Amino acid sequence: MSAFATLPLSGCGKAHGANGAMAFPPAVVGVVTVEPQSVALTSELPGRTSPYLVSEVRPQVGGVIKARLFTEGSNVRAGEPLYQIDPAPYKAAYDSAAAALAKAEANLATVKLKAERYADLVKINAVSKQDFDDQSALARQAEADVASAKAALESAKINLDYTRVASPISGRIGPSAITPGALVTASQTNSLATVQTLDPIYVDVTQSTAELLRLKQQIAGGGIDGSGAARAKVRLVLEDGTPYPLTGELKVSDVTVDQTTGAVTLRAVFPNPKGVLLPGMFVRAVVNDATAQNAILAPQRAISRDPQGNATALVVDAAGKVELRVVQAPRTVGDDWLVTSGLNPGDRVIVEGLQKVKPGMPVKAVPFAATQAGGQG
């Protein structure tokens, strides 16, 4: 036998275990160290815009429309005239009422003077007490006639003013339903036009009662604050996915559940100075539900599901070995899961290299950012 056969092999560069098996270095995994933080919990809910104020313009007196005084689709101010109804019959009624008032006032002056003279004469028995009483009654009747004539004149003036149909609110006016020459009647069913206030504007969104109940349970359990001014703030995402630049405010929540959809309606108010939002637009509202204090966030890629459907995470323990944790992750926050149990502050959660490890294996943990920069998998 050659002497060289008894020499041990060396120089292969691999470590050997006690039983002679080849030993490999621990796998490198990228980890994220979780720390408690304050997190705003939001919900993205579907909704539609609706005008802040809506007014259907109707005439309060009848007559023939002489002119339309606005441009369709323009902005109008409250009190601005929109239509002119033929004022001729109402002007005649006003003039008649004014003449009746003048006649009543003239009669009152004569009757009052006569009553004053009778008051002096009755003292010296120059006229009977009955004549004095009758004249005093005529004076009071004349005063009532004047008051009635004044009321009739005021009524005629109101009707005359109503011949100029004014906008009840400020806003944008739509198309006109009638043209000059059309006959309209007081308080008719069909409106002449519609004015809508679009700045500010309402956004009505719906939230399922299941989400609402879950949130209330989390608030009741502590750690989640459902009060404060931040909860009232709402952001908006338009139909094309672009964010609306202005922030709205949550104003009211419906107290009745829709029996068809099982949802409640939330109403927010948004400023709309440039008229970007129009009534009926579909939007998505990002509503601040609450604030989670001392919340633990784990990247979504670090959380997986076992065959039973439980959420799990792999953690590097103090000894450098992989530990399997069953966690509770009820909702996402951005690109992370909100973990309510199963992880503790300071835990090193494996994010990169999950496919190379299993519970109990020793690993070399490096910060996830470092693995990203170095391109390790």
215-230 mean pLDDT? 55
Establish if 101 belongs to a structural domain.
yes
- Residues 6 or more apart whose CB falls under 8 angstroms from that of 109 comprise none
Residues 93-122 have a mean pLDDT of 92
Rg (CA), the chain: 42
Residues 146 and 179 in one domain: no
pLDDT of 132 reads 83
Residue 209 sits in the same domain as residue 261: yes
Is the model more confident about 69 or about 265? 69
Looking at residue 231, the DSSP 8-state letter turns out to be: G
Q: Specify the pLDDT at position 288.
A: 76
CATH number at residue 129: 1.10.287
CA distances (Å), origin 113, targets 129, 136, 143: 17, 10, 13
Q: Give pLDDT, residue 2.
A: 43
Q: pLDDT at position 371, please? A: 42
Residue 210 belongs to domain with CATH number: 2.40.30.170
pLDDT more than 70, % of the chain: 85
Same domain? 173 vs 81: yes
Is the same domain home to 145 and 207?
Answer: no
pLDDT above 60 for 304: yes
Q: Within this chain, do residues 120 and 234 fall inside the same structural domain, yes or no?
A: no
Q: What is the pLDDT of residue 370?
A: 44
Based on the domain organization, do 355 and 243 belong to the same domain? no
pLDDT at residue 337 greater than cutoff 60: yes
What average pLDDT does the chain have? 85
Angle CA(61)–CA(63)–CA(66) in degrees, nearest 5? 115
Of residues 159 and 217, which shows the higher confidence score? 159
**CB neighbour burial string for 8-33, b if at least 16 within 10 angstroms, e if fewer:** eeeeeeeeeeeeeeeeeeeebbbbbe
In a domain, 17, yes or no: no
The pTM of the full predicted model, rounded to 2 decimals, is: 0.66
How many domains is the chain built from?
Answer: 4
**205 and 132, same structural domain?**
no
Domain that holds residue 260: 41-52+197-292
List CB contacts of 8: < 8 A, sequence separation 6 or more.
none
CB atoms within 10 A of CB 246: 15
CATH number of the domain at 34, please: 2.40.420.20
- Region 220-225: what's the mean pLDDT? 54
Is the same domain home to 175 and 204? no
pLDDT reported for residue 233: 81
In a domain? residue 179: yes
Whether 267 and 212 map to the same domain: the answer is yes
Average pLDDT over residues 319-347: 90
pLDDT in tens, 154-212: 999 999 999 999 999 999 999 999 999 999 999 899 999 999 999 999 999 887 777 66
Q: Identify whether residues 144 and 207 lie together within a single domain.
A: no
Last residue of a domain, one of 245, 266, 292: 292
How open is the CA angle 84-79-50, to the nearest 5 degrees? 110
Residues 128 and 103 occupy one common structural domain: yes
In a domain, 174, yes or no: yes
5: pLDDT strictly greater than 50: no
Of the pLDDT bands very low, low, confident and very high (cuts 50, 70, 90), residue 303 is very high
**Which range, of 33-37, 293-297, 360-364, averages the lowest pLDDT?**
293-297
Tokens (6 digits) for 55: 């007014």
Quick check: 327 and 311 in contact, CB under 8 A? yes
| pLDDT: which is higher, 369 or 234 | 234
Q: For 8-53, what is each residue's pLDDT tens digit?
A: 444 444 545 555 555 678 889 999 999 998 887 777 888 999 999 9
Whole-number pLDDT of residue 122: 83
Residue 327 pLDDT class (50, 70, 90 cuts): very high
- For residues 252 and 59, the model is more confident at 59
Domain shared by 109 and 131, yes or no: yes
- State how far the Cα of 100 lies from the Cα of 116, in Å rounded to an integer: 24
